[in-house]
Amino acid sequence: MEAWIDDLYRRHGSAVFSFLRGMVRDSHAAEDLMQETFARALAAADGFEARALPSTWLFTIARNLALNHIRSRRHEASRRCDLNSIAAAGGDPLEKAGIDDEAALVLAALVTLGEEKREVFLLKVIEGLTYREIAGVIGCPMGTVQSRFHRALGELKRTLEREGVQK
């Protein structure tokens, strides 16, 4: 069982961590939630249905944990602060490692997205899940996923244009 969870981590650990980091915007919380995701995966391994993809199954667990964490924290006040200051202040050594300014600004711009659009965008960009797979993870119709992704892109583009990153 441990070999199985180890293999699962090697395949999806990074993506799950990136997704959690993008969702909760806190490396320490993301790390803790990642360990919890795999602990829950191990606990629920018997109930895992082979017809589900391991990645979508893991992301479902991770997403539920992230949303619970966000609900318990509720610090949406920071959503509207200046992106340049977020990117410059950074403070997160993981973010600073090998990320150019533009990528850092894109990462910071993610903060301005609402949770529903952010999770769809992250699942698409990080793991490359299809709309159908994302719909399975978040439990809503495929059309809703498509619409949220389009709106997420539009909002990010407008935010970055305001900051002078894209023209």
Partner 1 sequence: MNCQEYRREIIDMAAGEPGANTEGSRAHLAGCDACRRELDEITRLMDGAGRALSALQAPPLELSRVRLRHAGKSVHRWLVPGWATAAGIFIAALSGALLGYMGAHTGRDNPHSRQQVRLAETKSDFWTVRTDSAELLRMLALQDRMRQGDLPDSHSDKP
**Which among 105, 147, 92, 100 is positioned nearest to 124, based on CA atoms?**
147
At closest approach, how far in Å is the CB of 103 from partner 1? 4
- Site residues (CB under 8 A) for partner 1, limited to 49-88: none
Does 160 participate in binding partner 1 (rule CB under 8 A)? yes
Fill in the per-residue mask, 16 to 55: x = in contact with partner 1 (CB under 8 A), - = not in contact.
xxx--xx----x---x--xxx-xxx-xx------------
At closest approach, how far in Å is the CB of 91 from partner 1? 14
**Which among 156, 56, 158 is positioned nearest to 113, based on CA atoms?**
156
Residue number, 66 or 110, with CB nearest to partner 1: 110
Distance of alpha carbon 118 from alpha carbon 105, whole angstroms: 15
C-alpha distances (whole Å) from 142 to each of 39, 100, 135, 137 are 29, 33, 5, 11
Size of the site for partner 1 (CB under 8 A): 50
- Site residues (CB under 8 A) for partner 1, limited to 107-126: 107, 110, 121-122, 124-126
SS3 string, 9-74, reads: HHHHHHHHHHHHHHHHCCHHHHHHHHHHHHHHHHHCHHHCCCCCCHHHHHHHHHHHHHHHHHHHHC
Q: Please give the residue ranges that form the binding site for partner 1 (CB under 8 A).
A: 2, 5-6, 9, 13-14, 16-18, 21-22, 27, 31, 34-36, 38-40, 42-43, 94-95, 97-100, 102-107, 110, 121-122, 124-126, 128, 130-131, 146, 149-150, 153, 156-157, 160, 166
